[in-house]
Amino acid sequence: MTRLRQLAAKSRAWLETTAPPEQAALRDLGLWLCREIVRPSGSLPNDATSGLTALPPPVALPDLSRRDLLDLAQAIALSDGSVWQEQGFNSSCWSRVLGASALSYARSGDVAVVAAIVRAAARMGLDGPWLTDAQNHLMDLQQPDGSFGLLAAELAQLNDEDSTAEVMLRLTVEVLWTLAEVANVRADRR
């Protein structure tokens, strides 16, 4: 937890000093997530009507498009968990497929998908060596200023300060949400 707290403190400082005022709502969400990482309260979104009524077989995931995988991960992360608490849920296979998929997207540099997958896996209470690698990868993406992502080259192409700030903020909040989910799961287990 110490590392998660350190990451949260750094991100909080970046959000307070750097995030653009016109993105105040997103910045405030980021600051709230930083507090959740430091003191998990179990109050992350939990919605029985998230739209998730059934899970596909885990081995269907590699064939999903990026968009479909993001939608599924999002629905899982917002779900109340009733779907996978049913009998027959193969947690080992889900853990392996989600972990391998997260590392696969990490190799492609797609941080948003890695964050979404790790968040979904945490919500499902899954762990495993590949998911741990993916979590560590996300944490390693924090920059010295507290933001997340390795986007300097891409953002330089944008040449637009406002867009750059928004992209960095969105990605940082995505990762913070995932780390808050991880922190909540760890707190539940203690």
Partner 1 sequence: MSAAGRSLDWLDGHIERFAPLRNGLVDEFGLKAFAEFALIYAYLHQWDHLPFRNRLPKWKAFLAAQCERPAFVQTPRKQPAVAVGYLIPYLMLRSTGYRFAYHEDTLGRLERWNLLRSVELVPYRVLEREHAFWKSGWLPTEPDWRSLFDATTLGRPPSPLGFDDEASYSVTHTLFYLTDFGNRRPTLSASEMEQTVDLVECLLVHYWRIGHWDLVGELLVNLNCLGRSSLSPIRSAAAHAYMSAWGHDGAVPAKRGMGDGDGSNAATPEDRFRLCYHSTLVAVLYFATAMSAAQPGGTEPLR
Burial of 10 (0-12, 13-18, 19+ CB in 10 A): middle
**143 contacts: CB under 8 Å, gap ≥ 6:** 149
Nearest approach in angstroms of CB 14 to partner 1 is 25
Check binding of 58 to partner 1 (CB under 8 A): yes
The nearer residue to partner 1, 80 or 133, going by C-beta atoms, is: 133
Torsion of CA 150, 154, 158, 163, to 10 degrees: -30
**With contacts defined by CB under 8 A, how many residues of the chain interact with partner 1?**
23
- Choice from 71, 80, 110, 133 touching partner 1 (CB under 8 A): 133
Nearest approach in angstroms of CB 87 to partner 1 is 17
Burial of 143 (0-12, 13-18, 19+ CB in 10 A): middle
Pick the closest to residue 73 from 101, 93, 104 (CA basis).
Answer: 101
Nearest approach in angstroms of CB 59 to partner 1 is 4
Among residue numbers 89 through 128, which ones bind partner 1 (CB under 8 A)? 90, 93, 96-97, 99-101, 103-104, 106-108
Q: Which parts of this chain interact with partner 1 (CB under 8 A)?
A: 57-60, 62-63, 90, 93, 96-97, 99-101, 103-104, 106-108, 129-130, 133-134, 137
